[in-house]
Amino acid sequence: MRVQHWQQDQFITPNRYYHHSAGDFWSLDALLPARDNQSLKRMPSWTGHIDYVSNFDYPFGAYYEVLNNKFYFIGTDTANSDIGQMVIEHADLSTSGVHQLSSTPSEIGGRHKLNVAAALNSFWLVGSDRDVYRTATTPGGYTAAAYTGGDAHALLTVRDTIFMLTQTDDLYRYDNDASAFASYLDNPVINVEYMMHYRENIVLFCRQPDGALYVYLVDDRPPADLRQLAYIETATGRYVPDDVAASWATPWAIQEDKLFFSPGVYWSSSSDCEVIPIWLFDGNSVELVDKVDAPVVPTAWGLVQWRGRLILYFLSASAQYIYLYHGGRFVQVLDGALTCPDDADLYPMAGELWLPTTESATDGWTRLEDYEDGVFISSWIDMGRPTVQKHLLNLSAVVSDAVADFYTKVEYRTESGSWTQAANTANARHIVATDLGVDFYLLQIRVTLDDNTGNDEEIELESIAATYSYGR
């Protein structure tokens, strides 16, 4: 009889059904792989509910002011039917508002998440009249419109200036000396849906009537030139959000100097199939990196940065899902069952994620804060001997610290069984279950970090291991 030891102390590649390489694993729930892949950290959960201040409603934008250490949420001042601002202090989460921003225009306009901006010591917005307005103080009343062409679509801050895109895809640059927008590049009509800044270029994502996506680059300094980067042909007859009127989508983000983007959610109402292809541009070429099955038909979805990690999110009226880009794949790390209003979207600011929610019929904000109990599930493990029956002797897990009332539960299942608890130990760094006496061909291990301390302990899962025998 040969006694062998198997151990996993790296967490590199998610969504692996079978374990073939060191670091393969199947799923995470409220756990985040450390950047060095050597441990799994506990993830914050949706915590608390900060009610909207009186007369604030219908949020459609947000930004963070570093100098004032405040979160600003742009919505409707319902008392005056104007654009209003709700303010939350970062230090103690106290609220104030509604601060009236403008009576003209009375509503926001332009492209979602590109219609408000903080730049040049000012706050800018695209009004419902498609003019651009600027205020010298935050919050405060507006000066005269900075652009009065009546066709503004989107705003983009680039270093020490701000760019504006019109509905006819002309690009303007703000001239601070002249206090006005000046023409920067006249484009043919290419149906720009979104724009962002990457390296020394402005990237334009252009949706065509057949669903195809063109990606263009424009120099961010004169002389400006338009260059085609990629063409992603359509792969479906229908898209989300284009076929769902209430949907918002922002599937464009930069992570570690790479540009990630998606042409849309491929959707079929008859087959209940929602697939999201994610593409990557690394400065040299464009390649497909992953295809993600959407858990819901979303009313809002997109890619955002959160604490240096790339997040893919899906929102509906009753469910929220967050995926992490790790090891070249997207793995689901958090789900929620909050109630969201129709105008809900995810807003990353100051290392936090904010979400409009409804609690006890009162609208407000919820953010990621307190830690969840985390669950890790390994891939199916055959110990490199898929056709040989093996005998499980011991299971173990190592966590980063031992704390009273912090439990680590280790479970297992074989190819012919259900989950069975092997150990559930508190106040221990090394959790061990011995003399298990189970025969198996395939083995799967589940570890749950259960925090009953009330202190949000930052304890990490560092490794799991199994001792087994085979042969005579």
pLDDT tens digits, one per residue of 163-209:
999 998 999 999 988 889 999 998 766 788 899 999 999 999 988 77
Instruction: Tell me the pLDDT tens digit for each residue of 48-66.
Output: 999 999 999 988 888 888 8
Tell me what pLDDT residue 40 has. 98
Q: Give domain limits for the chain.
A: 2-43+374-470
Nearest to 303 by CA among 241, 356, 252, 242: 252
* Structure confidence at residue 137 (pLDDT): 55
Closest CA to 431 of 467, 387, 399, 468: 399
Q: Check residue 239 and give its pLDDT.
A: 59
Dihedral of CA atoms 309, 314, 317, 319 in degrees, nearest 10, equals -70
pTM of the model: 0.93
Task: Tell me how far the alpha carbon of residue 66 is from its chain's centroid.
Answer: 22
pLDDT score of 134? 86
With a CB cutoff of 8 Å and minimum separation 6, the contacts of 422 are: 395, 410, 411, 412, 433, 436
Q: Give the pLDDT confidence score for residue 177 in this predicted structure.
A: 87
Which parts of the chain register pLDDT below 50? 243-246
Q: Give CATH for domain 2-43+374-470.
A: 2.60.120.260
For 448, the token pair is 């749950």
The reported pLDDT for the residue numbered 81 is 82
Q: Answer for the pair 385, 470: CB distance below 8 angstroms, yes or no.
A: yes
Q: What is the dihedral angle through the alpha carbons of 132, 136, 141, 142, rounded to the nearest 10 degrees?
A: -20
Q: Residue 320 is inside which H or E element, if any? A: strand 320-326
